Amino acid sequence: MALSKRQNHRLGAILAVMFKDSLPSEVLNELIVDGFVEVSGQLYLLTAKGLDEKNRLCTLSGLNIMYTSEKKRETT
């Protein structure tokens, strides 16, 4: 199933946060307002809601992208 333009945009932004890539401030602010990202000092981190959204969008698009910590949870 193909993602909509909005879903594709959101997944790209969430992945950019995961991989500590640069993002335009308006995109980052949108993620923060929607509750997908939180600011911790100089770092931007995915919230539990952000991880759920990343997993949902990855599943819809047929991708399997995880943090190392997520992989450890699956094996236990």
pLDDT of residue 64: 82
| Of 53, 1, 4, the residue nearest 18 (C-alpha) | 53
Dump pLDDT digits (tens) for 31-44: 999 999 999 999 99
Region for 20 from its dihedrals, namely left if φ exceeds 0, alpha if ψ lies in -120 to 50, beta otherwise:
left
Q: What is the model's pTM? A: 0.83
Dump pLDDT digits (tens) for 36-76: 999 999 999 999 999 999 999 999 998 888 776 676 656 55
pLDDT of residue 23: 94
Structural domains in the chain?
Answer: 5-75 (1.10.10)
